[in-house]
Amino acid sequence: MATLLVVASLSLTGCGKKSESSAPGTSAKGQSSTEAGEVKPIDRKMLGAFGKLPAHFDSKTNPPTPAKLDLGHMLYFDARLSRSGTISCNSCHGLSTFGVDGKATSVGHAGDKGDRNAPTVFNAAGQFRQFWDGRMADVEAQAKGPVLNPIEHGLKDAAEVEQLLAAIPGYVVQFQRAFPGENSITFDNFAKAVGAFERKLVTPAPWDRFLGGDDGALSDEQKKGARLFVETGCISCHNGPLLGGQTYQKLGKVKPWPRPADEGRKKETNKAADLHHFKVPTLRNIAKTGPYFHDGQTTDLGEAVRLMARHQLGRELTASQTSLLVSFLGSLTGEPPQQWTAKPTLPPNPVTPPPAAATRVDAGSPAADKAGAAKLGDAGGVVPTVPPAPAGPGSAPEPKPPANDKVPATKPSSP
């Protein structure tokens, strides 16, 4: 998601202005503690722009139920929902590795790479839009992208997803439990189940305990780094409970970005004003989710911090300032919910009847069409009876998502 994502990448964007003399933490001479050459622990009066993580990001329009969450958990880990039978949501957004795969760009079902970094799925449901260019409104809409993307999962359309799921008896039962009704196995219900599951992927961190009044939750270095984060200007975009994820920002706002090939939102909107604008990502778990930025080309967190200060704020950080900021960012590393991070038991494939017991089906008949929907794998995987995986992105089939789900065929689904 790849997926949903991501890898959550760093974008410490700001307004490029130094702290005003009236801001908390300034000295009697109007200098911030940063400018005066000294960094003190953050004052609690400076915490108003932040906020504690909620326990979940549940949706009123897609309320969770135990059956829906269990189903979403299974679907997230099921690689049978890919053309090769090898790619699941968890492949690019590993829940045991802080929701990422640690690669610059993820590898899809045929070995091809996407063109953007896969951010973490943890806390992604709390962001105001999904994907790096913000083209999807929520995690339910985003969940449909990867399975239909020709580079990622590579399935043809919604009907093929439904066909694969209907071929697995255990999913027929699970969908009926989660969505009682005559036609429970639908692509929309697939997305609702995955989305409801992802809304539970919240990672409370030491930073949240500190915001709640526990002064011992952070080290002195982290408290100093938090103050520096505010006084340097990072807070202008990285604020709120997620420290980001709520706005778009131009990459290279003060000084041109050194890797300008990706046009950002302009690629989606075709508006010149959106050139090099990206969604500001959350900084939650940032110390664990490298490599960084939309292209995954920066592997060191300290270097990512220095690049942001230089290109977004017009400031050159010292080694000690960089160290303090990185220390603070470490306090955002949270605890993944163990209830959901382990791989669940997936519904098994039906047992293939022995040849002697098989019923003859005439070619071209409705029964033959139904029987050809999937062939059963020996290792619990359903391998779709479809053409071989395309050799590369150029020869990939054009996916046809349902109406109101704009998923460009040539764009990776990583947020």
Residues annotated as catalytic are 152
Radius of gyration, CA atoms only, the chain? 23
Give the residue among 132, 142, 413 at the shortest CA–CA distance from 277: 132
**How far is residue 193 from each of residues 69, 174, 178, 330, 377, measured CA to CA in Å?**
6, 11, 8, 32, 25
**How far is residue 190 from each of residues 47, 76, 112, 121, 411, measured CA to CA in Å?**
39, 10, 25, 17, 21
> Are residues 19 and 13 in contact, defined by beta-carbon separation less than 8 angstroms?
no
For the chain, the farthest-separated pair of C-alpha atoms sits apart, in whole angstroms, at 92
At 375 the three-state DSSP class reads strand
Give the residue among 10, 148, 125, 145 at the shortest CA–CA distance from 56: 125
Token pair, residue 24, equals 């908390």
Give the residue among 313, 335, 309 at the shortest CA–CA distance from 322: 309
Token pair, residue 155, equals 């399935």
